[in-house]
Amino acid sequence: MRNDQVDPHQRRPGVPRGGPGEARDRPGLFDAVLFDRDGTLVYDVPYNGDPDRVRPVPGARAALDRLRAAGLRLGVVTNQSGLARGRFTAADLARVNARVDELLGPFDTWQICPHADPGPGGAGCRCRKPAPGLVWDAARALGTHPTRCVLVGDIGADMTAAGAAGASGVLVPTPATRAAEVAAAPAVAADLNTAVDLILWRHRLGAPDPSPPRPGRRRCVLVARSDSVGDVLVTGPAIRAVAAGADRVVLLCGPRGRAAAELLPGVDELVEWALPWIDPQPGPVDPAEMARLVARLAEIGAEEAVLFTSFHQSALPLALLLRMAGVARISAVSDDYPGSLLDVRHRVPPGIPEAERALSLAAAAGFALPADDEPRLRLRPDRLAPAPTAGTATGRAGDTDTAATLPEPGYVVVHPGSSVPARACPPEVCARIVEALADAGHRVVVTGGPGEAPLTARVAGRSGIDLGGQTSLRRLAAIISRAACLVVGNTGPAHLAAAVGVPVVSLFAPTVPFGQWAPFRVPTVRLGAADAACRHTRATTCPVPGHPCLSGIEPRQVVEAVRLLDRRIADGGGSAVPIGEVGVGTGGAPRTAAPAERGVRAGADVPGRPAAGTGPGGVSDVGGHGVVLPVGDPVTASAAEVGR
């Protein structure tokens, strides 16, 4: 064993290091953890206005104290429609919240939606989960951003609200949680203590391991991610972490990910090579070709290598070639025994987002992101094509052409294709989605890669602007960057949108785990049957007749998801508008609050105390908050939430 070789057992994931009172050694992945109240922190008593009936769930106090000891701020985000329904008074609600705070607090912020579900066709508020308004308000009250927050809840509406704000979500199911909600959640924990284990592990994953001592700044480090566009993009934060500790970074990529690799910050040189143990359509292993690869790797002169892989791939074949090329220190994730091939053998719990998986490996190898580099996907601005302007589109080679006319920024992009057929939404469904978005007042741009022009023409029809086959990856990034949101399956452009900070309506086939492959740290609404028979099969072609996981998506669900992602919800003080008039980038007339919509101000920070600027008893007019959201459909509250 070399002096810097890590014993494999030291890299096993488990309960995070540290205990009560231990300070963080660097900023972690999160600033705050938000909790649903009923069913998550305390037992659910429908329409409870009696503080004597408040009972914390087992282990709640200890779990919350572990988060506080880690330096994380805590908040509560709760729907309390009983106020609007007249089931309890504002004073009752304040007393119940004060009792929760007494037993489990102090909490750093309370965010409360007092509105009732208005029913089909009614006008909803911006704050009632699954709308993300409460999450945005909590993050704002805590001086952070939703992407640095985790929301822990017990039903699907909690997870939708978290995702639509860009926060992480952890579902702790109860008997009231539906099986479909469990299947759709990005992460699931058996209880609060287990949820806290996961949160703290993820929170600290970017901190470098101090044992064994890390060698000094490296002259040259080779990083490897030989995979597709999306795989390369989600590795970007980890590559930036390596670049922060090295003078030169060389990226070994495959031909399918080359275009994305060219856009990554922190990369000084690219080496393109198809690896037969990674490529989905590999040729036979050619000994002469492997000898040439070893020689090329030796030419690089790297002192160290960090090998990034997905959860189903092995880094060991490449590690063997790197040893033959003379690389002295190699780090990788490996469940298989590596012998002497690895110096740092890292392990990661299942279900961790791919970007975080890669970041944790970089940290295990001794490379951490600088404190001022937020762990999100990024692109090199100098490598992007110029942003297209209204009245221009892109040519077949990515140059300006007159084939189509781009609208002003704020349009919706629909990308129907996918490199994996099982993840592509059926064309006829995508065509109906484009029509529905156009009917709702959105300007729709349909994009597609080389060879997808027939598909995009069919999907765009007469309602969308067809750019199929007309964009390079660089120009596609520029087009998406000017969009209000992107409607797309689990494919490369979803991660491209995350890299330019554009919200995503994810038409996600459950062949791979959503928690690992969802767009990273960007507002996202997931649609599709998460519990379909293809779940976690990693199928490349649909194994079920009729493609039921995506063919059942209704166009109105997509329109509603786009509304959930409307950036005016994040603004907090925006006006509500009538249903049918909500559109990304469009305005709306304010309306007067109905009597049932008046109650505790969303955002009252101290339970039991009237908020500043409210009237007698802490009552305030909240009717002007947010945008109007349709209700009663799959992206809105489940039956289990009635009364919360």
Annotated active-site positions, please? Answer: 36, 38
Place of tokens 């990226």: 251
Rounded Cα distance, 337 and 334, in Å: 7
Q: How distant, in Å, are the alpha carbons of 11, 77, 314, 573 from that of 110?
A: 38, 6, 46, 18
Check: CB of residue 553 under 8 Å from CB of residue 527: yes
| Structure letter (DSSP) for residue 464 | S
**Phi and psi for 76 in degrees, rounded to 5?**
-120, 130
Beta-sheet pairing, 598-600 with 619-621: antiparallel
Closest CA to 110 of 126, 93, 124: 93
CA distance 278 to 310: 10
Dig out the tokens for 518 from the structure.
Answer: 């969802």
Count of CB atoms within 10 A of residue 285's CB? 11
Residue at 561: amino acid letter: A
Choose among 379, 400, 586, 375: nearest CA to 480. Answer: 379
Give the count of alpha carbons within 13 A of 151, CB side only: 38
The CA distances from residue 620 to 81, 211, 576, 602, in Å, are: 15, 55, 16, 9
Containing 253, the helix (H) or strand (E) segment is: strand 249-253
Report in angstroms the alpha-carbon separations of 252 from 318, 358, 428. 10, 15, 39
CB 463 within 8 A of CB 441: no
- Inter-axis angle of helices 492-499 and 473-481, nearest 10: 60
CA–CA dist 268, 261 (Å, integer)? 11
Q: What angle do CA 278, 279, 285 make, to 5 degrees?
A: 80
For residue 142, the Cα-to-chain-centroid distance in whole angstroms is 20
Are the CB atoms for 409 and 479 separated by under 8 Å?
Answer: no
Q: Which of 550, 411, 593, 419 is nearest to 491 (CA)?
A: 419
CB atoms within 10 A of CB 221: 28
Angle CA(350)–CA(422)–CA(257) in degrees, nearest 5? 70
3-state secondary structure 39-52: CCCECCCCCCCCHH
